[in-house]
Amino acid sequence: MKQALFDKISDRSSVICVIGLGYVGLPRLIGAINCGYPCIGIDTDLSRVDSLNRGKSYIGHIDVAGLHTAILEGTCQIMGNFTSAANADVIMLCVPTPLNRFREPDLSFVTGAFESLSAHLHVGQLISLESTTYPGTTEELLLSKINELGLTAGEDVFLVYSPEREDPGNPDFASGSIPKVCGGVTDACLEVGVHFYSQITEQVVAVSSTRAAEMTKILENTYRAVNIALVNELKIVADKMDIDIFEVIRAASSKPFGFKAFYPGPGLGGHCIPVDPFYLTWKAREYGLHTRFIELAGEVNTSMPDYVIEKTVHGLNLLGKPVNGSVILILGVTYKKNIDDLRESPGIELIRSLSEKGACIRYHDPHVSALHDIPKPGSEMHSVELTVSTIRQSDCVIIATDHDSVDYSLLEMASLVVDSRGVFSSTSDQCMVIRA
């Protein structure tokens, strides 16, 4: 069975199925198509299915022209149900793994997708979980369900964990150029997984188990979360000392060894860094461990929107204006620059919090034309044009996301700029700039 699947993967006759067509799954599907595989894309969001079948991308930085060509040529299907998964030889699960309101892992998307998939599993398939999760998930959830189906991993089917490493909007790293970590529940599973990923990725890093692969992903994002928390805390200290932390980071970056630059901001955003460390924190409790360092970093990063608001209140007070009734322009609402991703964005948190304080909020973002249900359910906001008039009509401008396409020279016309991204290296001669 293993050799038969090996051969199909090698000669590009194996059908690749990607479940979950978001920021991870969609690039993965396009990558498999570009490598010459017949493909199936499955997503329960029917608006996504409709968009892709019409050749329209719902993720700004992802070009779906090649995918649409494959659809028209019949080498790719985009479906809203799991029936076609029965035709797949390789199945990649790329569904969300958020936290619930208690900051505990919510694996309902994984379990729900696998339940829907289970009726279509059969001998001779490779199943790979790519969603970020805590160490042990692949064995504890998926392997147990495979066993319940009467299938044996490593003989009938092959089960691996290979964490996604997407960096949305980063033009320097396409999916196929990022090394892929892979761990299997058996040696045979690992062999098949490594063989498949080596066809669509330049480098595959094999590890001893799915648990090691799961822990690798958690380490990567915990490393980033902790270091960002460090510079966020140092930003507050530096501000009290009247030191520009961005100048300090640039100077420290001149050291050719032993230092890697991380940058402060108004808080953490995206699906990974604000979420993934808490998967490990939750799992560690099972072993009687308390991950104090990770939780402290989470507290620091979570508090940053409040710090920006505190600096905003201070700036408005210097102008003799209360927050209540002030017109505040939020510049950038996505969680990082040059993309349209709003997941866990601190800019959204700023809008909600300042609205609750009575401020009149407007926003400008070249990548997000409208916000729905923000700041409250049923509400709708639209991006305003960034003009001298718009800026002069605002009591304060908060730089929450530093998109490259924005003309920051216009902000010289502002009464007050609260800069959380280091756009202004020093205080402007023409307007009041407060570092936040």
What is the C-alpha to C-alpha distance for residues 316 and 294, in angstroms, rounded to an integer? 34
What is the C-alpha to C-alpha distance for residues 91 and 39, in angstroms, rounded to an integer? 10
- Read off the pLDDT of residues 245-285 as tens digits, 9 standing for 90 and up: 999 999 999 999 999 999 999 998 887 888 888 899 999 99
What single string gives the DSSP state of each residue in 77-124?
A: EEESSSGGGGG-SEEEE-----B-TTS-B--HHHHHHHHHHHTT--TT
Residue 426, pLDDT score:
60
Q: Helices 346-356 and 292-318: crossing angle, nearest 10°?
A: 50
Residues (pLDDT < 70) of the chain are 425-429
Nearest residue to 164 via CA among 140, 195, 193, 133: 133
pTM of the model: 0.91
Task: Tell me 157's DSSP state.
Answer: B
Pick 304-435's CATH classification: 3.40.50.720, 3.30.460.80, 3.30.360.10, 1.10.3210.10: 3.40.50.720
Pick 2-208's CATH classification: 3.40.50.300, 3.30.830.10, 3.40.50.720, 2.60.40.60: 3.40.50.720
Residue 177, pLDDT score:
84
Give CA separation, 413 vs 146, 322, 325, 391, 392, in Å: 63, 20, 20, 7, 6
- SS3 assignment, position 396: strand
Residue 428, pLDDT score:
58
Domain boundaries, the chain: 2-208, 304-435
- Read off the pLDDT of residues 54-102 as tens digits, 9 standing for 90 and up: 999 999 889 999 999 999 999 999 999 999 999 999 999 999 999 888 8
Question: At 257, phi and psi to the nearest 5?
Answer: -150, 155
Choose the catalytic residue: 39, 272, 396, 431. Answer: 272
272 is catalytic: yes
Same fold, 2-208 and 304-435: yes
Cα angle 383, 386, 391; round to 5: 110
